[in-house]
Amino acid sequence: MTTRKERNFNYILLNLASFVLILFFFIWFSVDYYRNWGVELETYLKSFSESLSYPAWTYDNRVIEQLVKVMVKKKDITFVSVYDDKGNKIITSTKEFSPNLFDQIFGTKHFTKTYNLNYADTFVGKVTFGYVDREPREFLQVIGLVLASLYMVIFLLISNLKKNQRLAAMVKELNDMNSELELAFNELEEAQNKVINSEKMAALGKLMVNIAHDVNTPAGIIYSSLTEQQNRLNSVREKFQSDELSEKDFLDCLNTITQLTEIMLRNSRRITELVQSLKRVAMNEMTQTYSEVSIKSLVDDVLNALHPKLRKTKVEIVTEISDDLVVRTMPGAIAQILMNLIDNAIVHAFEYDNPGKINIKFEKIKNKNEKEYLVLVFSDNGKGMEPEVQKRAFEPFYTTEPNTGTGLGLSIVYNLVVEILGGEIELESAVGKGTTFKIRIPVDK
């Protein structure tokens, strides 16, 4: 039978062990969270820098100014400065940052990062970002308060083992802890939504860069054709002025100019189609409103916008969509779902370089209550998923490619289908036999 002194000693040891464990967890969690925050922010800054390369190359200051204004609105960013290839400042956008009492107590730091802007292996300038780490420090402060509250509850629980009459006080402390945990959870959820929105903006920026690369080829053909056309016209003019122009020379010139004009018209139409597809996809991304939409046209726009990325792979995409399939839904959400599924398949199912096929099928069905649904069946014949990967596929930040992926692609798909569109999503996969996503979305009337 233990004495009162031994029991008190055991209580002290238990309290000390609890304190050490919670302190260790807080230190580990703080270091890991701060590092991940830095990695995610740097990834976002790099992605945004890539989106500035083409405007900097073309000296399109209006586009640069618009992109910089969007970037400086991010909570952690304090300023963005863009320079040309000669070091001359093109634009600077600054957001006022005034250190408050929190910053002074917890040592909020100010950082700068500079990235070179390269387009087509050519240095076209650089961009400098200024940012602070107030947000992760605020978040870790909340976690620290929660863990401190947790330790206090444990301390009270151990103390109440000696005095049962203080049980009511312990319950009250537990209720207080639950309230603080709920508050922390809400803040975590809000932070996750911000990261998801940042990921969507970064994806849109990458899409713009890819389209810009794809426009280069027809633009170069048009330039070459114009140059040849000018040379031929100059040659004919010189012969005409010197009375050496023959009928054959004139007819050859007409035929050549006709051919070159057809080439330029064909490539101009290609550029127009690419730009229009990007414009429609971008507008859909930015506006989450319901409207009547042709699903086939929407899918064609998405595939056109992704063409620069798809043509670098060995993946074939086959669609099965009726020309008259028109529904009232959120076209932006549907486009985002499709883009993320295609990107996920390229990266994970085929690992970029492997050949394969993606099948996209849309149809409209009715249930027993005559309620209409838009059904998407998205399947690939890639490497498939392990059972454990399937279970966690829709978890935020879960990825099997930590060096290249953010783990947000399928999480965004799930959020759009279930939370935004009120639909359902099913995942079927087998190792070596591919993966199928079945999505059912209620049609708005």
DSSP 171-219: HHHHHHHHHHHHHHHHHHHHHHHHHHHHHHHHHHHHHHHHHHHHHHHHH
Could you tell me if residue 39 is inside a domain?
yes
pLDDT band at 377 (very low <50, low <70, confident <90, very high): very high
The percentage of residues in the chain with a pLDDT greater than 90, rounded to a whole number, is 17
Residue 287 has pLDDT above 50, yes or no: no
76 plus 109 within the same structural domain: yes
Given a contact cutoff of 8 angstroms between Cβ atoms, the answer to whether 94 and 82 are in contact is no
Q: Does residue 248 lie in a domain region? A: yes
- Ramachandran region, residue 352 (left: φ > 0; alpha: ψ -120 to 50; beta: rest): left
Q: Are 244 and 188 in the same domain? A: no
Domain-located, residue 315: yes
**How much is the pLDDT for 404?**
57
Please determine, for residue 352, whether its predicted confidence score (pLDDT) is greater than 50.
yes
CATH number at residue 343: 3.30.565.10
Query: What is the number of structural domains in the chain?
Result: 3
Closest CA to 26 of 149, 190, 112, 160: 149
Beta carbons of 78 and 97 less than 8 angstroms apart: yes
Range of the domain at 221: 210-281
Residue 48 CA to chain centroid, in angstroms? 11
* R_g over Cα of the chain: 30
The CATH code of the domain that includes 74 is 3.30.450.20
Lowest mean pLDDT among 55-64, 236-245, 286-295, 384-393: 286-295
Based on the fold, state whether residues 321 and 245 are members of the same structural domain.
Answer: no
Q: Give the count of alpha carbons within 13 A of 157, CB side only.
A: 13
The most confident of 57-61, 170-174, 400-404, by mean pLDDT: 57-61
Structure confidence at residue 244 as a pLDDT band (50, 70, 90):
confident
In a domain, 247, yes or no: yes
What are the tens digits of pLDDT across the range 57-99? 888 888 888 888 888 888 888 899 999 888 888 888 888 877 7
Q: What is the pTM of this model?
A: 0.43
- Of the listed ranges 6-10, 12-16, 249-253, 351-355, the least confidently predicted one is 6-10
75 in the same domain as 10? yes
Query: What residues contact residue 330 under an 8 Å CB cut-off, 6+ apart?
Result: 288, 289, 290, 291, 420, 421
For residue 201, tell me if it sits in a domain: no
For the record, the structure tokens of 211 come out as 């389209």
Domain boundary among 174, 196, 218: 196
Q: Which of 242, 266, 281 is the last residue of a domain?
A: 281
Q: Which of these three, 130, 163, 196, is where a domain ends?
A: 196
Q: Look at residue 334 and tell me if it is in a domain.
A: yes
Q: Are residues 395 and 311 in the same domain?
A: yes
Check residue 280 and give its pLDDT. 54
The tens digit of pLDDT for each residue in 310-351 reads 888 889 999 999 999 999 988 888 888 898 899 888 888 887
Task: Indicate if 394 and 438 belong to the same structural domain.
Answer: yes
- pLDDT score, position 167: 52
- Please say whether the beta carbons of 172 and 145 come within 8 A: no
Q: Are residues 192 and 257 in the same domain?
A: no
Residue 84's DSSP bridge partners are 125
Q: State whether 230 and 342 are in the same domain.
A: no
Residue 130 has which token pair?
Answer: 């200024």
Q: Does 202 map to a domain?
A: no
Report whether pLDDT(17) > 60: yes
**Any idea which of 109-123, 256-270, 297-311 has the lowest mean pLDDT?**
256-270
Check whether residue 236 and residue 352 sit in a common domain: no
